[in-house]
Amino acid sequence: MNIRTYDDFKAAVTTAVESQGETRCSVARRLEQQGALRAHTVMCLLSTAPVIGRRKPSFDSVLKLADAAGLELTLTPKEHRAE
């Protein structure tokens, strides 16, 4: 899947988590128990509520969230297209 925005990333993580029978809350608690990320941070980063001054994740946080959802990030060169 192509992820172009952080909202795309959140939707992909949430969908993957739900397909495994988990919730965002259970993933947040699991990551906190593992010492990877604070549960509150995970809930903020995956929140769908509009928030003024929305938190932006570090790349490390994105990697941890993807891993927790069973996803792998792969970087590929963009195709140059004439538009």
Number of domains the chain contains:
1
Domain range holding 58?
6-68
Q: What is the pLDDT of residue 54?
A: 62
In this structure, is residue 13 part of a structural domain? Answer: yes
Total Cβ atoms within 10 A of residue 5: 8
Give the contacts of 72 (CB within 8 A, at least 6 positions apart).
Answer: 66
What's the pLDDT tens digit per position in 14-72? 999 999 999 999 999 999 999 999 999 999 889 887 765 666 788 999 999 999 999 99
Among 81, 70, 64, 73, which Cα is nearest to 2's?
A: 73
pLDDT of 4 above 90: no
Q: What is the pLDDT of residue 51?
A: 64
In this structure, is residue 81 part of a structural domain? Answer: no
Q: Which two tokens stand for residue 48?
A: 């769908």
pTM comes to 0.82
pLDDT of 83 above 60: no
In this structure, is residue 18 part of a structural domain? Answer: yes
Q: What is the pLDDT of residue 27?
A: 96
